[in-house]
Amino acid sequence: MALQVRVAPSKVVLQNLLIRVILFYTVYYVALGMYWVMLKVYVLDVLAPSDFKTNPSWLNTNYKVLLVSSEVAYFVCRLLFVLVVEEWVWDYGISVTILHVAITSTVMLEFPLTSHWWAALGVYI
């Protein structure tokens, strides 16, 4: 009895990955908007998913909005990935995270070296 592994064609994998990335950022911005209103933040940073330079302080409302939005986005997307993909969930989750790090580095023109950003990201990897 041989072990059989079914590999999806690369076009399907790339299409699924694109859908997951769009889903992640959609959930992120919905959570961001919701917490922006709840915590009454008056300035919304459009580059919020990529902002790792915000001062990490519980007194900083903007930081709390960014942190909670990212944690909610990863948690909800993990559940949605399980419902939609049903298999290869870790592959898509890690791939979306790698793409998020690459997009963050590109947008901010700097690789994120702050420990609080990696700690928040590492909670759901």
Do 22 and 14 touch, CB atoms closer than 8 A? no
Using alpha carbons, list the distances in angstroms from residue 83 to 10, 16, 50, 90: 21, 13, 27, 13
Do 20 and 77 touch, CB atoms closer than 8 A? yes
- Residue 4 has a pLDDT of 62
Helix (H/G/I), strand (E/B), else coil: 60: coil
Do 96 and 24 touch, CB atoms closer than 8 A? yes
Residue range 66-91: mean pLDDT, rounded: 78
Do 19 and 94 touch, CB atoms closer than 8 A? no
- The answer to whether residue 125 scores a pLDDT higher than 60 is no
Using alpha carbons, list the distances in angstroms from residue 23 to 7, 13, 123: 23, 15, 19
- Residue 59 has a pLDDT of 85
**Tens digit of pLDDT for each residue in 10-64?**
787 788 788 888 888 899 889 888 888 887 777 777 777 778 888 788 888 888 8
Question: Considering the entire predicted model, what is its pTM?
Answer: 0.76
- The answer to whether residue 1 scores a pLDDT higher than 80 is no
